[in-house]
Structure 1
Amino acid sequence: MALVLVIDDEPGMRRTMHRFLKDAGHTVLEAPSGSIGLRLFEEAAPDLVILDLFMPEKEGIQTMREMREIRPDAKIIAISGGGRYGLNLLDGLEQLGATDTLAKPFGKDAFLSSVERAIESAGK
């Protein structure tokens, strides 16, 4: 299975995604911010990153750009609930480097389907 890095500032969302991924047989690393996530990304070289767009300190888009500079072939699923403005910023994120996008709230099946597609596209 895959090593997956989950970057989200909401502890409940991280726990939920961790449980879904672990139940599916994946190894999971967690980060509460883009800065910590970027450090783990460099240290652990995960097979897949699940990245929230709206976070304090360092937003997801900035984090994704920096990850792409380090590893252009990284697999990244961008997730968002729309943030404080209720905007759908997921449209067009593939052009900025997202492998896939997923709107919050999402169910286990939709989440794991997106994860499996991204992992398969990495050849894992």
Structure 2
Amino acid sequence: MAVLPMKCRRYLEDRSIAHSEREEGGKRAVILHGFPLPAGRYDATAADILILLPAGYPDNPPDMFHALPWLRLVPAGRYPNAADQPVVFGGQNWQRWSRHNNEWRPGRDGIWTMVKRVEAALQVAA
């Protein structure tokens, strides 16, 4: 099922970002598969990233993102701050990364903005 606007789908495809689009229980989402993580920062080298799309997307912003497997910081061995709560989607418990989006620009931002936000959050998590 297609849940992304064509320009968002094209962005992911043009950058060879493996993804799937899903709808479950009235929730629409995109999953970025095997998303690379910053080297040496986590107890995994890649994760699936779930982005729930709100009604009215892309004019309304996605708020947070979620990861599988659950990621721990290395060498601390703990979850990053504000990344220790589960969210169920697709029959799996995803690690919620509470990173709110207050700077979304309707008509300009899209999945490319979320990909950059995810990359930045993964890089600076403490």
Above 0.5 in TM-score? Answer: no
* TM-score interval (norm. to shorter): 0.3 to 0.5
Q: More strand by proportion, 1 or 2?
A: 2
Q: Which has the higher relative contact order, 1 or 2, with Cα contacts under 8 A spaced 6 or more apart?
A: 1
- How does the TM-score come out when normalised to structure 1? 0.38
Q: More helix by proportion, 1 or 2?
A: 1
